[in-house]
């Protein structure tokens, strides 16, 4: 069952409560400040290896993120969650709260479900900030009522500080990965764990990982690439990437740098905090207001890290990602950055041989 299941058990044993958050970028600081542990439920193949429960509710053309999320929440392990929090991250996830409630109800279960609408327009547009501020304040009240807790500005500021600290450590670990001091597989494992545990625990794990990496020698002369997508490549594929002599010198992955890439200005006012934090985030295909800067940011990352190639890890059925792909290809071609696309679907086997062959061919392409 992996880290997620173990962590929930640990959280419950310590007397705390676990709130399952829909991906991609839920307001985790707020949940944490209320003495709850937010767990962001993505990249959970280990915790939701089969899709039997999900298949009763979602068609196979839903992406793997949605299907595994449904699978986990409706599974026996998901029964250990104390609540669910979601925002309008994408059309598929937006449709899911009542599906999950219906599925839970069939099992004689129910969970508090909290929702927030994140405006997808630029901040300078009419009422966007005021609207978001009001929704954040609604969410504060909703969480207080659902869990019988009380909001504190001081605790919120401290939670925000802890998350900023963890994000800074994640960015540091990414740089160490670029230097070859730690493998991308190990980096991905550590970052993945952070979605499934309390931020204090994750900060400790990140600190240790940074310390170990800093003690390791840098490895020069690798074929440097940037990985982009919603989720990182599966472990088997990362092995193939690194085995082919490529180094992931940076990433534009939603569950990785798009999650930890920003630093939010600290304040005890959650409404002001999130109005700033959501705008400060790295561009993502799902944050519609960041559309104009996404490819620029990707190219800037490639230039900054001296990467010669971009590997697009396509989440099958994610139209947000795929509608930007042709434009991304065009710009990368103009900048003479090599690129390759692979597609990952829910039923795929980790590190399939055909993908290995393509990865090896891509690595050779980078030498020319």
Partner 1 sequence: MAEVKQAEQKFRKTESGKRLTQLMTEEYTALHRRAGEGAFVVWIAIIVPAEIFSGFKNVVFAVPESHAALSAAKGVGMLQCEKAEAAGYSMDICSYARIDLGTALSGGKDSPTFGLPRPHLLVSNNNNCSLLAKWFDVYHREWGVPHFLIDVPFCYEGQKDRDRAYITAQYRDLIKTVEQLSGQTFDLDRVREALRTTREATRHYKRFIDCAAARPSGITAFDSFVQMAPLLTSRGRPGIDRHFAMLADETEERMRSGLFPVPGERYRLFWDSIAPWHQLRKMSARLAGLDANIVAASYTSCVGSHEGSYELLQSYDGGDPLEALARAQNFSVCPYGLNLRVNAMTRAARHYGIDGFVFASNRSCKVYSIMQMDCLRTVSRDLGIPVVMIDVDHADVRTYSEEGAFTRIEALLERIDAARQRAG
**326: phi then psi, degrees, rounded to nearest 5:** -60, -40
Q: Which stretch binds partner 1 (CB under 8 A): 26-34, 114-122, 164-172, 196-204?
A: 114-122
Contacting residue, 15, 59, 334, 349, with partner 1 by CB under 8 A:
59
Draw the binding track, 227-266, toward partner 1 (x: CB under 8 A; -: no contact): ----------------------------------------
The b-or-e profile of 215-229 (16+ CB within 10 A means b, else e) is eeeeeeebbbbbbbb
Contacting residue, 9, 45, 80, 115, with partner 1 by CB under 8 A:
115
Tell the smallest beta-carbon distance from residue 294 to partner 1 (Å): 10
Is there binding between residue 92 and partner 1 (CB under 8 A)? yes
Q: Which stretch binds partner 1 (CB under 8 A): 89-97, 161-169, 190-198, 231-239?
A: 89-97
Residue 33 or 92: the one with the smaller Cβ distance to partner 1 is 92
Task: Compute the distance between CA of residue 77 and CA of residue 3 in angstroms, rounded to an integer.
Answer: 12
Those residues with Cβ within 8 angstroms of residue 146's Cβ, 6 or more apart along the chain or in another chain: 83, 112, 114
Structure-token match 């990496």, residue found: 213
Residue 145 or 150: the one with the smaller Cβ distance to partner 1 is 145
Window 10 to 49, contacts with partner 1 (CB under 8 A): none
SS3 322: helix
Contacting residue, 9, 35, 99, 137, with partner 1 by CB under 8 A:
99
SS3 116: strand
Residue 199 or 299: the one with the smaller Cβ distance to partner 1 is 299
Q: Which of 246, 225, 179 is nearest to 337 (CA)?
A: 225
Task: Compute the distance between CA of residue 331 and CA of residue 338 in angstroms, rounded to an integer.
Answer: 11
Tell the smallest beta-carbon distance from residue 60 to partner 1 (Å): 9
Q: Are 337 and 307 in contact (CB under 8 A)?
A: yes
Distances (CA, A) of 237 to 140, 312, 342, 355, 366: 41, 13, 10, 7, 18
Is there binding between residue 112 and partner 1 (CB under 8 A)? no
Q: Which stretch binds partner 1 (CB under 8 A): 35-43, 126-134, 148-156, 163-171?
A: 126-134
Tell the smallest beta-carbon distance from residue 159 to partner 1 (Å): 26
Contacting residue, 1, 46, 77, 120, with partner 1 by CB under 8 A:
120
**163: phi then psi, degrees, rounded to nearest 5:** -65, -40
Q: How many residues line the site for partner 1 (CB under 8 A)?
A: 46
Q: Are 29 and 163 in contact (CB under 8 A)?
A: yes
Is there binding between residue 128 and partner 1 (CB under 8 A)? yes
Window 316 to 335, contacts with partner 1 (CB under 8 A): 316-317, 319-320, 322-327, 329
Tell the smallest beta-carbon distance from residue 314 to partner 1 (Å): 8
SS3 214: helix
Window 259 to 298, contacts with partner 1 (CB under 8 A): 285, 288-289, 291
Q: Which of 207, 232, 245, 192 is nearest to 351 (CA)?
A: 232
Instruction: Specify the DSSP class assigned to residue 58.
Output: S
Q: Are 244 and 267 in contact (CB under 8 A)?
A: no
> Site residues (CB under 8 A) for partner 1?
56-59, 61-62, 66, 88, 90-92, 94-99, 102-103, 115, 117, 119-121, 125-128, 131, 134, 285, 288-289, 291, 314, 316-317, 319-320, 322-327, 329
């Amino acid at each position: 069952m992996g880290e997620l299941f173990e962590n929930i058990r640990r959280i419950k044993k310590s007397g705390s409560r676990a709130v399952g958050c829909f991906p991609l970028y839920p307001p985790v600081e707020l949940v944490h400040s209320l003495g709850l542990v937010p767990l962001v439920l993505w990249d959970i193949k280990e915790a939701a290896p089969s899709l039997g429960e999900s298949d009763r509710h979602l068609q196979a053309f839903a992406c793997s993120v949605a299907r595994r999320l449904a699978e986990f929440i409706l599974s026996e392990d998901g029964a250990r969650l104390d609540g669910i929090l979601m925002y309008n991250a994408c059309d598929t996830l937006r449709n899911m709260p009542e599906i999950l409630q219906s599925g839970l109800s069939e099992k004689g279960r129910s969970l508090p479900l909290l929702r927030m609408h994140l405006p997808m327009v630029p901040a300078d547009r009419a009422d966007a900030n005021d609207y978001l501020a009001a929704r954040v304040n609604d969410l504060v009240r909703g969480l207080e009522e659902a869990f019988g807790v009380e909001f504190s500005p001081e605790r919120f500021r401290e939670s925000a500080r802890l998350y900023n600290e963890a994000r800074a450590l994640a960015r540091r670990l990414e740089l160490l990965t670029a230097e070859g001091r730690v493998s991308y597989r190990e980096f991905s494992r550590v970052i993945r764990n952070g979605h499934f545990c309390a931020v204090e625990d994750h900060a400790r794990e990140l600190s240790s990982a940074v310390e170990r990496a800093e003690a390791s020698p840098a490895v020069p002369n690798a074929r440097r690439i940037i990985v982009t997508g919603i989720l990182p490549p599966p472990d088997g594929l990362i092995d193939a990437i690194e085995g082919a002599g490529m180094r992931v010198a940076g990433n534009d992955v939603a569950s990785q740098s798009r999650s930890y890439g920003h630093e939010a200005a600290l304040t005890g006012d959650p409404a002001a905090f999130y109005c700033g934090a959501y705008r400060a985030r790295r561009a993502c295909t799902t944050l519609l207001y960041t559309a104009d800067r996404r490819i620029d940011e990707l190219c800037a990352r490639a230039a900054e890290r001296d990467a010669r190639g971009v590997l697009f890890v396509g989440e099958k059925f994610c139209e947000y990602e795929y509608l930007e792909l042709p434009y991304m290809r065009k710009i990368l071609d103009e900048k003479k950055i090599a690129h390759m696309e692979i597609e990952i679907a829910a039923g795929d086997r980790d590190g399939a041989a055909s993908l290995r062959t393509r990865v090896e061919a891509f690595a050779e392409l980078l030498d020319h």
